[in-house]
Amino acid sequence: MIDNPGESRCEVHADGELAAFVVCRINGGLTELVHTETVAGFEGRGFASRAVAAALDEVRQRGGQVLPTCPFVWSYMTRHPDQLDLLPADLRKRAERQADPSVEGG
């Protein structure tokens, strides 16, 4: 993973080439994860998920929170409940319901 602040994104490389990235907007302690993209030729190998995981790890290390406006990031987070603590409280409740339909209101 490469944190590329010049491009406002976290990148994952494979064999020296850009494979996937997550575009980030940082505003204080809140990082908006706006868009996830896999480069043509690297699809279907989990590079986008690795890019999201790396971006979330970066936010965690900074002690921040995540605003997942990218649908792929939201889906990733609901499939990885250990990451939900990075969400602001109102979004966390919604994500917890979506991650576990047995939770009231899910």
Question: What number is the average pLDDT over the span 38-58?
Answer: 96
pLDDT at 37 over 70: yes
> Which residue's structure tokens are 């047995």?
102
pLDDT at 106 over 90: no
pLDDT in tens, 67-83: 999 999 999 999 999 99
User: What's the confidence (pLDDT) of residue 4?
Assistant: 59
Which domains, and CATH codes, for the chain? 2-99 (3.40.630.30)
Nearest to 72 by CA among 94, 53, 93, 100: 53
Confidence of residue 1 (pLDDT cuts 50, 70, 90): very low
User: What's the confidence (pLDDT) of residue 98?
Assistant: 84
Tell me how far CA of residue 74 lies from CA of 10, 14, 34, in angstroms.
16, 24, 10
User: What's the confidence (pLDDT) of residue 33?
Assistant: 97
Residues paired with 32 in a beta bridge:
25, 67
pLDDT at 105 over 60: no
Torsion of CA 60, 64, 70, 75, to 10 degrees: 50
Average pLDDT score, the chain: 90
Strands 17-27 and 30-38: antiparallel
AA letter at 91: L
User: What's the confidence (pLDDT) of residue 50?
Assistant: 96
Question: What number is the average pLDDT over the span 94-106?
Answer: 70
